[in-house]
Amino acid sequence: MSDAPSVRNRRPPGERREQILAVATEMFGNAGFRGVSLADIAARVGISQPGLIHHFRSKEDLLIATLERRDAESSGHIEEAFRDSSAIDALLSLCRYNMANPDSVRLYSVESAESLEPGHPAHEFFRSRYSRVRETVAGRVRRDQELGLLPFDIVPFEFAAGVIALMDGLQVQWLLDPSFDMSSVLSAYLERFRK
């Protein structure tokens, strides 16, 4: 009875928000934006559906916030890897990082496909993200070419588009079968490009 709804159930604002985003990451990643209801998420958080919507204006807002949170979380690791390692080593490191974060990977695999539809709430998010990530990787490839780590017959844009595609595709096979070793396949492909 002491757990009856009351003012005492309140949590510090930031903490509750973070908790919601973690639950949403897992649930949107499982069933997609359309496959989960706000009530489902609220139930797992332990509040009511209107209680949930108090923190995010709408379901769409919650999805975008969930996607942006993951990018913010991983950006530190990625920037460091691309600054301190060659393109190939940084990408292999990112792959291992991903294998330690299945919920985030699942969210991205599911939402990037669901958002192919022009009207989807995350459509523009992924469009611009692909452009940006391809440019980041291509830039690091150019630097490796100048440093003599990669041959000049590589077209940076093609290499970049290809690794991103490769990693995206491997993630799907890994999510379907967690014993599948993404990093060994990625390594076998990337080693073919070394000078």
Partner DNA sequence: GTCTATACCCGGATAGAC
Partner DNA sequence: GTCTATCCGGGTATAGAC
Contact call for residue 39 and its own copies (CB under 8 A): no
Contact call for residue 189 and its own copies (CB under 8 A): yes
Binding characters for DNA, 4-23, by CB under 7 A (x = yes): -x-x-xxx-x--x-------
8 Å CB contact between 128 and 136: no
Binding characters for its own copies, 76-115, by CB under 8 A (x = yes): ------------------------------x--xx-xxx-
Residue from 22, 30, 44, 48 that binds DNA (CB under 7 A)? 48
Query: Residue 75's binding partner, choosing from its own copies, DNA, none, with beta-carbon cut-off 5 to 8 A by kind?
Result: none
Contact call for residue 162 and its own copies (CB under 8 A): yes
Residue from 30, 32, 38, 99 that binds DNA (CB under 7 A)? 38
3-state secondary structure the chain: CCCCCCHHHCCCHHHHHHHHHHHHHHHHHHHCHHHCCHHHHHHHHCCCHHHHHCCCCCHHHHHHHHHHHHHHHHHHHHHHHHHHCCHHHHHHHHHHHHHCCHHHHHHHHHHHHHCCCCCCCCHHHHHHHHHHHHHHHHHHHHHHHHCCCCCCCCCHHHHHHHHHHHHHHHHHHHHHCCCCCHHHHHHHHHHHHCC
Q: Please report, as residue ranges, which positions from 57 to 76 form the binding site for DNA (by CB under 7 A).
A: 58-60
- The footprint of its own copies (CB under 8 A) covers 30-32, 34-35, 106, 109-110, 112-114, 116-117, 120, 126-127, 130, 154-155, 158-159, 161-162, 164-170, 172-173, 175-177, 180, 184-186, 188-189, 192-193
